[in-house]
Amino acid sequence: MAFFPQLRLRRLRRTDALRRMVRETEIRVTDLIYPLFVTHGRAVKREIESLPGNYHFSADKLPGEVTEIAKLGIPAIILFGLPETKDELGSGAYASKGVVQQAIRQIKKTAPDLVVITDVCMCEYTSHGHCGAVVDGCVDNDSSLELIAKTALSHAEAGADIVAPSDMMDGRVAAIRRSLDQGGFQNTPIMAYAAKYASAFYGPFREAAGSAPQFGDRRSYQMDPPNVREALREVALDVEEGADMVMVKPALAYLDVIRRVRERFDHPLAAYNVSGEYAMLKAAARNGWIDEKQAALEVLTAIKRAGADLILTYHAKDAAGWLSVR
């Protein structure tokens, strides 16, 4: 009985209705987090060349966009900032009137229920483009912590719902927790980019955010792609320091990492379907080589099947539309 010809796995694949009944993984719009890039200036809505379908917005142009996002049922956005000027210590990152801080206030006025997550990092604000302070030509861990903690606090003060450190300095989650608690933000969760790799797939983002390092690379702080046990140590450390949610990034070339983290930890797990993953798919679709909708939904489903609860993706708006008509 347990063998062919009595046993036929194709029986349950015969119709769409049957396939839907036995489907093991389904993405929902509530799983999605949409990245948004805010820039200085006024009346700016400019398409990002390396991320077709995504835009740079000035704060005054955000109300329309966030209203649309909320209407689609997407629960959360993650904000990245493009400041007007940069300096050695990235002071724009923690300025109370910085681009992200102003954007948060604007968004909260328009769509108070939309969860505003902020990317906490220095690379978009430093003249050298590194994710922390540079001392003697090296990215200095311990002096970076203060800048990062200050940045997270300024986001919370502006009204951010969740802060998400992406710098990969050792000890940043504890430093942020301390600064949030001291500032009266005991209820602000930390979503830690816990296992973030030094990946070639961030290329389009760095173009979009103007955050490419001006010398060297990020290999002394972001993780070495071949390592997975080390990812588990990174996650363990961030959890120990007080991370409420953890993230694996990138997603697609790291599905095994997502799976391993899922099996070991019970924290909500996010995965970042990064810019290069999006851009590759988009480029192939534009050439007519793949079906964009099918491919994007397949990718998002795979990330969830690997174990992610939440997915940060540039496809979020499209996916929300596709999911609502399926």
Residue 177 CB, nearest approach to ligand PBG (Å): 20
- Contact status: 105 vs ligand PBG (CB under 6 A): no
Residue 82 CB, nearest approach to ligand PBG (Å): 12
Residue 274 CB, nearest approach to ligand PBG (Å): 4
Task: For residue 35, give Cα distances in angstroms to 15, 74, 115, 117.
Answer: 36, 11, 12, 9
Alpha-carbon span 318 to 293, nearest angstrom: 8
- Contact status: 323 vs ligand PBG (CB under 6 A): no
Alpha-carbon span 230 to 283, nearest angstrom: 33
Helix, strand, coil percentages (3-state) for the chain, rounded to 5, are 45, 20, 35
Binds ligand PBG by CB under 6 A, chosen from 99, 121, 175, 248: 121
DSSP string covering 158-217: HT-SEEEE-S--TTHHHHHHHHHHHTT-TT--BEEEEEEB--GGGHHHHHHHT---SSS-
Residue 9 CB, nearest approach to ligand PBG (Å): 38
Binds ligand PBG by CB under 6 A, chosen from 275, 304, 311, 316: 275
Q: Which is nearer to ligand PBG, 67 or 143 (CB)?
A: 143
Region of 129 on the Ramachandran plot (φ > 0 left; ψ -120 to 50 alpha; else beta) = left
- Contact status: 274 vs ligand PBG (CB under 6 A): yes
Catalytically active residues are 196, 249
Alpha-carbon span 223 to 5, nearest angstrom: 49
Residue at 281: amino acid letter: L
- Contact status: 225 vs ligand PBG (CB under 6 A): no
Letters for 48-87 (x = contact with ligand PBG by CB under 6 A, - = none) are ----------------------------------------
Q: Which is nearer to ligand PBG, 26 or 49 (CB)?
A: 49
- Contact status: 166 vs ligand PBG (CB under 6 A): yes
Q: Which residue has the tokens 């690997």?
A: 306
Question: CB under 6 A: which stretch of 109-117, 118-126, 139-147, 179-187 binds ligand PBG?
Answer: 118-126
Phi, psi dihedral angles at 289 (to 5 degrees): -90, -25
- Site residues for ligand PBG, 205-224, by CB under 6 A, read 205-206, 211, 218
Closest CA to 193 of 65, 80, 44, 92: 80
Binds ligand PBG by CB under 6 A, chosen from 202, 221, 265, 322: 202
Residue 83 CB, nearest approach to ligand PBG (Å): 14
Q: Which residues bind ligand PBG (CB under 6 A)?
A: 119, 121, 123, 131, 166, 202, 205-206, 211, 218, 274-275
